[in-house]
Amino acid sequence: MTTTVEQLSLEEKIAQLVFVRMGSNLPPIVTASDDEERVAALLEDCPVGGLLLFNGVWPEVRASLGRLQAKVKTPLLVSADLERGAGQQLAGLTVFPHARAFAELGEQTQADLRRAIEITAEEALQAGVQILFAPVADANTNPKNPIIATRAYGEEPAAVAELVATVVDAMNSAGALAAAKHFPGHGDTSQDSHAELPSVDHPAEVLHRQELVPFRAAIAAGVPLIMSAHVCYPALDPSGEPATFSKAILTDLLRGELGFEGAVCSDSLLMAGATGRYESEAEMAAAALTAGVDLLLDLAHPVATVREMSAMVERGDLPLERVDEALGRVMRLKERVAGVTPFSPEIGAEQRDANRVFAAAAAEGAIRIFGDGPPPTLDPKKSTTVVLTKPFNLPTDPAKQPLADAIGQLLPGAQYFEFGPEIDQVAADAAVAAAADSDQVLLAVIAKPAAWHAFGMTDDQRRLAERLAADTKTIVASLGVPTILADFPADRPKLCTFSDVPASQQALARKLCGGA
């Protein structure tokens, strides 16, 4: 380290606890590299401890992060949501299926999951990202959960715990920093904490044998970070404070009872589950810090917030001891990755291709067929209609989903229709007519969690899907949660990929076409 803790001013100490965004995949979309100049200017005014990377492009992002690291006296911790591989936020690198898909690989689950994590860590570190906000340690016990769902490794706490421990161990071995989330458990909510404040109302004994089980496994495996949930747990904290702001949960339970000695990071402090409770962002950040959070993620106004928090310390409203304690944990994380970063050698095209082949194999192995009949197939010699629905439109979506190209290559004569949340009736009628005239029909439904977005099918999509599924020749596939398949007639052939990533969509097409 160029700068020691003793050399930091009070404002610099607090700034080291702050992580800010670099890039955005929400409107207005900005790549991480295009955001480099703004971040560099911010670092001059406020030497934050780390970055939250969004919408990076390989290999430009590697160069951008290298230049930013060269500007700072204390190395930056760079983090990203990489639950589905480095390609989730670094275009050009590998994208893996959602976590739930790996639980379907049977005997291969442990080995393939470990290899996927090794690839993710290797690619991330070579791009300059050290903290991978994974694994999701929530057991998805509520089938109506709109934000965890396929991001979890399953529904049974013990099974999830085993895979969470594998992820943590693999990341530790690879030199990356894992962050188990969302403590003490977001899996039994029916609300999205990005949009509102959920509550899990189980008795404490239920929380201990259900929600906490995977987190205990993560701690035993040596997880260096745990991310708090913007969720209330009245049995753990009767005051009603969300976990992010609850000393009873983050200090008494997590550190005192569970013995966690690593760093606690908040979930994004821009989320509705965190905002609106305090008069200023500084008061919100100070409350999280006081409760036991060490890394304050996603502040909107870092310069003003750091200054106001410094004034709180000087007035005696925020203990300096708590700042120093959090700072010590941040610095230990930086020391831990100092031998791994700056960057290891750039990953080559041949290795990236091999990584994508591995992801494709994992996606195909995860596909589950439901029902007792013969495996559903699509015959290239027969006329085919394919209809795909997606519950929302993202600014980063391609013009057509990957299934369109995959079907086009394997079934060149197939008719393909794609519908977002709002469906034009004329287009819907055209799809139904095409399906009626075809020998075989595939209805593919994307049902996945995403922040600030609807989960499942819209009313318009359900009406269209019901019209298509009324025909016995229709095959129904879920590109996400399997529970949505229960909405269709029991005698229809059904499949589930447990993910909608390109590899999973392409694997579905290959599976139905006999691996052609």
* Catalytic positions: 194, 267
Q: Is 479:456 a contact under the CB 8 Å cutoff? A: no
Is the bond leading into 421 cis (omega within 30 degrees of zero)? no
Question: Angle formed by the axes of helices 349-365 and 502-512, to 10°?
Answer: 60
Closest C-alpha among 282, 215, 277, 195 to residue 240:
277
d(C-alpha 444, C-alpha 340), whole Å: 42
Task: Return the structure tokens found at 268.
Answer: 């994004």
- In eight-state DSSP terms, residue 487 is G
d(C-alpha 479, C-alpha 483), whole Å: 11
Instruction: State how far Cα 128 lies from the chain centre.
Output: 19
Length of the chain: 516
Q: Is 266:296 a contact under the CB 8 Å cutoff? A: yes
Task: Return the structure tokens found at 482.
Answer: 């399997």
Task: Return the structure tokens found at 442.
Answer: 């595939």
Contacts of 207 (CB under 8 A, 6+ apart): 184, 185, 200, 233, 235, 236
Q: Is 207:185 a contact under the CB 8 Å cutoff? A: yes
d(C-alpha 319, C-alpha 6), whole Å: 17
Which whole-number Å values give the CA distances from 262 to 295, 391, 474, in the listed order?
11, 38, 51
Instruction: State how far Cα 83 lies from the chain centre.
Output: 5
